[in-house]
Amino acid sequence: MSTTLHSPSSAFQSAARVSGRAAYDQLYRAAETAPESFWAQLARNQLHWFQPFQRVLDWQLPRAQWFPGGLINACYNCVDRHLSSWRRNKAALIWEGENFEQRILTYQELHRKVSKFANVLKSLGYRQGDRAIIYMPMTPEAAIAMLACARLGIIHSVVFAGFSSEALKTRMEDLEANLVITADAGRRRGREIMLKRNVDAALAEYAGVRHCIVYKHLGAGIEMHHQRDLWWDDLMFGMSEDCPAEPLDSEHPLYVLYTSGTTGKPKGVVHTTAGYLLQTHMTMQWVFDLREQDIFWCTADIGWVTGHSYLIYGPLSMGATTLLYEGAPDWPEPDRFWRLIEKYRVNIFYTSPTAIRSFIRQGDAWPQKHDLSSLRLLGSVGEPINPAAWEWYYHIIGGGRCPIVDTWWQTETGAILIAPMPGAVATKPGSATLPLPGIFPAIVDAKGQPVAEGQQGFLVMRQPWPSMFRTLWRDETRFREIYWDKIPGLYFTGDAARRDADGYYWLLGRVDDVINVSGHRLSTMEVESAMVRHAAVAEAAAVGRPHEIKGQGLVVFATLKGGQAASPELVDELRDWVGKEIGGFARPDEIRLVEALPKTRSGKIMRRLLREIVTTRSVSGDTTTLEDYAVLLKLSQQGKEEEELLAHEAQKEKV
Ligand code: WTA
């Protein structure tokens, strides 16, 4: 554990919303002493209500209801409430396309577009409780679609545009979606991603959707199905701009976001309105120390929770200017992000350790070509950040001037739970530092007993918080099993952690069969199910191994069905297959075709052994339950041979 302490400069500290350690301690204690009045006061002062709430929290583990009795609207809070001040002419969204196209929407303009689009949805007969899939590139229209749904109480589910048609269909089915909002295509690294075609493929197997609204983004050649498919622009033409936001119950579901679990089936994480909005709003202040004039840039895609909370709901409810970039970080050259920061004078920059590590590899010359002096604060999310990447980020990007907020949270938590308040809490590279006010974590053993200081254990939460997810979509049983029954009485995060003598949290990665590739959660089961859907594959086992850039890389071991011959072509085909079944980001780094997989006597694949093989190339520990030890030896032998072969090849290249 590193002991280097980075304290904020006195200039940063004195200007910060929460200034000095004593201020943090005081806030934390206030929330600890009287959590309900702490949150109630914030909810009253920080959000707009159509009708005040009657109680703060109804908590019957694991069922939480925050601010029952209140009527509220997330879209109203993100858009309408800013129209009564000068902010109406402030930039809400700045969008830049990969080919340097630019659009800027003020709050007033955003309001107009959102209201019109909400009227479009209304005129097609959609209303509160309906479910819309949003499968769009990173364009202002994606934000408009989300906000228009929120305005009417239509539950949205954004599906990351990198997901395949198969993954899209699974989500539509689970959600019983009745509306799809998409675009003809999106752009990434100069290529067109044919979104509408994927929707067509998904809708060929799912009949529950009445309409598919298509935003013409690139003018790509697509087919429109009579009656079902409608052009966004045609629908918007002449539509009224007057569409009042619906007063909705505090607990009305705002969105469902699917995330990988430990089984093949993705989980529909349900977030509701008031509590979610309050905590994304507060963390913009506590963690990002947002100022009125800031340009805030979160590089996450809108299809992940970070995009929901810190591209849209958090920044807009604060009346901030949020930057949306559609495209790759290294397009057309590796300095695209630094160009964007310089061009828009970005003040707060929030990205992932994977991105940081790939910038390091590209070399310091790329950021050094640009004026990054507008930056005041840097953020990191999605995976543990290694101290070396942290130091690089701090010195090369932040010029040694900007605090780094390493933010720990999850799709399920809705908002950041553990992170430094940058003007109050000194940071240590690699640690997410301290819990935010109102967050009560613990590190425990399998029985729920707290572990000693410095010891590794399971990270849990002892008390509910406003932005917590409420359930899994139509799967209350799984909700209880995965999150609440593992260690009774506590919320099980699935992460391992340690706490040091200063009370700082050090996140150590997942303890379940979820691997974190480039900050994207992937379940090993999901990958294995995709593999065995291929006609040649009999069995598969997926494991993670440390990867220099991506944090973790994906390795799949597979056996073939009788009569199938292993070949390099088949390996390539299988990698593409997984990419097609789930999405490009899930494509394995390596597929190893083997004769048999190591199993216990009861037939369970021993992933632990496979993990050891791919990480250390040797195996230790208890193997007495192995059915056939020879299988294992063969596998590790194969690894060694491969390594020797590679070393030999590399040697040849040098010569
Ligand atoms: C990991 C992303 C270490 C963790 C917001 C968690 C982190 C999972 C950090 C959630 C961090 C996220 N340090 N690990 N700062 N942030 N994680 O649902 O394993 O995509 O459980 O949410 O990412 O990923 P998800």
Is any ligand 1 atom within 6 A of the Cβ of residue 301? no
- Pocket of ligand 1 contains residue 431 by CB under 6 Å: no
- Given a contact cutoff of 8 angstroms between Cβ atoms, the answer to whether 203 and 212 are in contact is yes
Phi, psi (5° rounding) for residue 109? Answer: -70, -40
Give the H or E element holding residue 127: none
For the chain, how many residues are written? 655
Instruction: Tell me which residue range forms the domain holding 602.
Output: 511-654
381 CB within 6 A, ligand 1: yes
- Distance in angstroms (rounded) separating the CA atoms of residues 439 and 28: 8
Atom of ligand 1 nearest to the CA of 380: 15
Q: How far apart are CA 334 and CA 349, in angstroms?
A: 17
Ligand 1 near 494 CB (within 6 A): yes
Judge if the beta carbon of residue 406 lies within 6 A of ligand 1.
yes
Contacts of 269 (CB under 8 A, 6+ apart): 256, 257, 258, 259, 305, 411, 412, 469, 472, 473
Q: What is d(CA 522, CA 542) in angstroms, rounded to the nearest whole number?
A: 10
Q: Are the C-beta atoms of 558 and 591 separated by less than 8 Å? A: yes
Contact 411 CB / ligand 1 (< 6 Å): yes
How far, in Å, is the centroid of ligand 1 from the Cα of 520?
A: 9
Nearest Cα residue to atom 5 of ligand 1: 410
250 is a domain residue: no
Q: What is the CA radius of gyration of the chain?
A: 25
Is the shortest distance between the CB of 410 and ligand 1 below 6 Å?
yes
Residue with the smallest CA separation from ligand 1 atom 25 is 410
Cα–ligand 1 centroid distance for 411 (angstroms)? 8
89: amino acid identity, one letter: N
Does residue 566 lie within any of the structural domains? yes
Cα distances from 434 to residues 458, 504, 601, in angstroms, run 16, 5, 44
Tokens representing 128?
Answer: 């509160």
- Give CA–CA dist 41/254, Å, rounded: 22
217, part of any domain:
no
Cis status, amide bond into 62, omega within 30 of 0: yes
Query: Is residue 541 one of the residues assigned to a domain?
Result: yes
306 Cβ inside 6 Å of ligand 1: yes
Terminal-residue alpha carbon distance, the chain: 42
State the DSSP H helix or E strand holding residue 138, giving kind and residue range, or none if neither.
none
DSSP character for 54? Answer: S
Rounded distance from Cα 268 to ligand 1 centre (Å): 17
Distance, CA 349 to ligand 1 centroid (Å)?
18
- With contact defined as beta carbons under 8 Å apart, do 250 and 77 qualify? no
Determine whether the shortest distance from the Cβ of 259 to ligand 1 is under 6 A: yes
pLDDT of 643? 58
- Gap from CA of 408 to ligand 1 centroid (Å): 6
Question: Is 525 within the bounds of a domain?
Answer: yes
Nearest CA to ligand 1 atom 10: 410
Best mutation site among 495, 498, 506, 512 for ligand 1, i.e. most ligand atoms within 8 A of its Cβ? Answer: 495
CA angle at 317 for the pair 312 and 321, rounded to the nearest 5° = 65
**In Å, what is the CA distance from 297 to each residue of 133, 147, 330, 579?**
25, 19, 17, 29
Distance in angstroms (rounded) separating the CA atoms of residues 197 and 419: 41
Helices (H) and strands (E) in the chain, counts: 21, 30
Please tell me the number of Cα atoms within 13 Å of 471 on its side-chain side.
Answer: 13
Q: Does residue 417 have its Cβ closer than 6 Å to ligand 1? A: no
Q: Is 315 left (phi over 0), alpha (psi -120 to 50) or beta?
A: alpha
In-domain check, residue 502:
no
What gap in Å lies between CA 470 and CA 610, rounded to an integer?
36
State the Cα–Cα distance between residues 575 and 42, nearest whole angstrom. 49
State the pLDDT at residue 372. Answer: 98
pLDDT at 654: 45
Quote the pLDDT of residue 645.
59
Element at 359 (helix H, strand E): helix 353-362
Encode 215-251 in three state secondary structure. Answer: ECCCCCCCCCCCCCEEEHHHHHCCCCCCCCCCCEECC
- Mean pLDDT, 10 residues at a time, over the chain (655 residues)? 81 97 98 98 98 98 98 98 98 97 98 98 98 98 98 98 94 97 95 96 97 97 97 98 98 96 84 98 98 98 97 98 96 97 98 94 96 98 93 97 98 98 97 98 96 95 98 97 95 96 94 86 88 92 91 93 90 94 92 87 80 76 59 68 59 47
Asked if 199 and 498 count as a contact pair (C-beta separation under 8 A), the reply is: no
Q: For residues 317 and 276, is the Cβ–Cβ distance under 8 A?
A: no
**34 part of a folded domain:** no
Q: Could you tell me the two tokens for 535?
A: 């006609």
CA distance 458 to 471: 21
CATH number of the CATH domain containing 575:
3.30.300.30
Largest CA distance in the chain: 77
Structure token pair of residue 15 = 């200007």
> How many angstroms does the Cα of residue 553 sit away from the middle of ligand 1?
16
The answer to the question of residue 590 being in a domain is yes
Say yes or no: CB of residue 551 within 6 Å of ligand 1: no
Give me the number of domains the chain comprises. 1
Is there a cis peptide before residue 598, judged by omega within 30 degrees of 0? no
Closest CA to 360 of 331, 395, 389: 389
